[in-house]
Structure 1
Amino acid sequence: MLDATGRIIVSGIGKSGHIGRKIAATLASTGTPAHFVHPAEASHGDLGMVSKGDVVLAISNSGEAPELANLVAYTRRFGIPLIGLSSKPESSLMMQADAHLLIPSMGEACGFGIVPSISTTLTLAMGDALAIALMKYRDFQAENFRDFHPGGKLGAQLTKVRDLMHAAEELPLVTPQTPMRDTIAEIGRKSFGMVGVVEGGNLVGIITDGDLRRQLDGLMTRTAGDVMTRNPQTVRPDALAEEGAAVMNKRGITCLFVTEHDAPAPALGLLHIHDCLRAGLG
């Protein structure tokens, strides 16, 4: 599978087919291109989905599923590597296969040996183990997983701060010398309820709505440097957005400036709690 220049073609019929679809999906989402081909459809044209460079993983607990026969014959005819996954080492499938994934033959949970249950669980475990082993050999990381899985809760948990942050002209910024009238105007224009104070290109402080309320007396006679809170909490751009949301929730704030290291440092962006919520983080 590591050497395949094409895709991993997974196939199986009945419950083995359902498990096969899941195995193909897991492989595809973890860095091993794969898709499922239904063996009956393969006999009616879908064999065209299989080509040189591919590797076929055929699943059958008994190893005797007749629906797989044409697919197996096709791999033999065109020299396409065939991996058999079965509990019967002497079965037709395993005798034809180039490589063998053998699961224990332990009967089924129903007690009659007829309802696929233990066998499907073992097959699923084998498929997951195979996918995880391939991940390790490929050095597949969480960042890679998010590329294939940007949606849902998992995608949200892997979102980086840089993916959600506001940057450039969106940032509310003033200097320590900026009069408070202009500072308040900047807060209103950018609509984040706060402003960053930069000096020499570095973020040295912030002013929030709360700071304004606490210093109303003589406020308009002051400058941003007089009112700002120094050494603001920041977050790194390569941190998980979930970490930023956790900091905001813990500190009861709604925004975090993004810097490469603790302030003072250049302001690269701004992460707002609403952006985290829209991404599915809370």
Structure 2
Amino acid sequence: MIRSMTGYGRGESVAEGYRAVAELKAVNHRYAEINVRMSRDLLAFEELVKKLIADKIRRGRIEVYITLERLSGNVPAIAVNQELAVELKATADKLAQELGVESDLTIAQLLQTEGVVTIREADTDPELVERVLADAVSEGVGNLLAMRTREGEQLSTYFLNRLAKLSDLADQVTERAPQVIEDYRERLKKRLQEWIDGQIEIDESRFLTEVALFAERANIDEELVRLKSHIGQFQATLTLADPVGRKLDFLVQEMNREVNTIGSKANDLVLSRLVVEAKSLLEQIREQVQNVE
């Protein structure tokens, strides 16, 4: 089953004081392009994140947003330089006594003094962080793939509907083609008769040769065979599990080539109308094929 290249997926993982969230947004792109956005302290895990995504997604531009937060159970360590605080308090009291004023240095002011209090982030466990990030990204990728698969099912239905119409048009062209030769034969014979005005007889041999030459130039049997073959290949490709966007794009180009050739040989209003309808369907298919992984 085909998959769309667009979609969104979110994953979250919580373990031992950490909470990681991964959000993935995918849009169309010819190749696979993965852009990861995370804080600088997590850059060491960027390649891991890209690999987890690249193993599952072959085409599309993927924007990844990752956040990691410490939960309440993982608080930073606070250290107080008590000796410095005592020294500052003693100095303030001595200065107040010498100036004959009351010392009003408070604990709050002491704690705000540079060097008295040091806050140190709790040690980070790289293996734990890697596991939490990997779990969040894997869940996000899974949800993204699920959305791309659902959209792929809708695209598949869309394609099959238009391929059925295209196949019907091809059948109409096949049915009409012999009549084009017969119409030409009748028109040519009528013109010749009007031209010679009954004065001489029509050379039947030369007349039939001219009709045969027209039939050869207007023959579209090979184009119809190839067109129907491409339609069948397209339908079969829709059932494959591998990324098939490029193959479908190629098949659309080939179908368009055959339809254009039929149009150039048409020389018939009915066939021309059918060709225009077929090209319109192929354009609709081509636009949506750009969304297939």
* TM beyond 0.5: no
TM normalised by structure 2 equals 0.28
Decide which structure has the larger Cα Rg and report it.
2
TM normalised by structure 1 equals 0.29
Which protein has the bigger helix share? 2
Instruction: Choose between structure 1 and 2 for higher RCO, CA contacts under 8 A separated by at least 6 residues.
Output: 2
